[in-house]
């Protein structure tokens, strides 16, 4: 049930079917949601009951079940799916893998992320040799915390002057695979709110918020905008003392 490497050949992820969602009608979206539900319930049933699954795995799975105290009006099943990635703004600055891996400096930091660049498979298919193959999986370390640019939260000049976007940030698919973590959204949300107040008070577009003043306020409020890695020798010394 697993291939060599870090990813299972089977999982609760139903690849590809959500691709039409952004432009789909509400009726079509409900159908996509139902297909996810059908697939995941079928997958859970398979793991718990199919004789091809090892007995110890089936036994363990049969100790689990849907929550009795949640979603009572929907048979214990969530009404919504977890949407990891959707459309993103193309803003004044686009975050890429180069910024995350520190190959390129990030201008005007308003927060930091650190999670691995991670994305699920794009599709699962059968090779000409008859093997199941996953395609599109990403799992790349960033090499430590990285900075996120203020320009990735604001639109290009002339498109909108009163909008800040701390979730669907201006970034590539690869970069968003790390930025997308909820704690990062909280960090960027705080910075976006601070910038919004400054723009409103000064009656200026969000693109014109003076970064020096924004940075000063964010640091005063406890935001961490940069990180200098501890030298290896010092880190080992500190570790030895512990």
pLDDT: which is higher, 10 or 59: 59
Query: In this structure, are residues 76 and 68 in contact, taking their beta carbons and an 8 Å threshold?
Result: yes
Q: Where are the domains of the chain?
A: 6-83, 97-227
Would you give the distance in Å from CA 15 to the centre of its chain?
16
pLDDT band at 161 (very low <50, low <70, confident <90, very high): very high
Question: 82-100: per-residue pLDDT in tens?
Answer: 888 888 999 999 999 999 9
pLDDT value, residue 237:
57
Buried b / exposed e across 136-170, counting CB within 10 Å, b at 16+? eebeeebeebbbbbbbbbbbeeeebeeebbbbbbb
pLDDT value, residue 120:
81
Tell me the pLDDT of the chain averaged across its residues.
89
């Amino acid at each position: 049930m697993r291939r060599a490497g870090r990813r299972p050949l089977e999982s609760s992820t139903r690849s590809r079917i959500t691709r039409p969602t952004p432009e789909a009608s509400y009726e079509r979206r409900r159908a996509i949601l139902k297909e996810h539900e059908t697939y995941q319930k079928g997958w859970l049933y398979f793991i718990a009951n199919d004789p091809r699954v090892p007995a110890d795995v089936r036994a363990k799975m049969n100790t689990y079940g849907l929550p009795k105290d949640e979603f009572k009006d929907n048979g214990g099943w969530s009404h919504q799916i977890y949407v990891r990635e959707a459309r993103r703004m193309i803003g004044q600055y686009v975050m890429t893998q180069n910024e995350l891996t520190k190959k390129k400096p990030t201008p005007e930091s308003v927060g930091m992320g650190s999670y691995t660049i991670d994305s699920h498979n794009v599709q699962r298919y059968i090779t000409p040799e008859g093997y199941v193959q996953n395609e599109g999986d990403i799992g790349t370390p960033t090499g430590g915390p990285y900075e996120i640019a203020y320009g990735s939260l604001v639109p290009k000049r002339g498109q909108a002057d009163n909008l800040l976007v701390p979730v669907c940030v201006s970034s590539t698919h690869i970069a968003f695979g790390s930025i997308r973590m909820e704690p990062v959204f909280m960090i960027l949300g705080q910075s976006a709110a601070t910038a919004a107040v400054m723009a409103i008070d000064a009656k200026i577009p969000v693109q014109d918020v003076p970064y020096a003043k924004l940075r000063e306020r964010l640091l005063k409020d406890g935001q961490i905008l940069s990180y200098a890695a501890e030298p290896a020798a010092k880190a080992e010394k500190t570790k030895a003392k512990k």
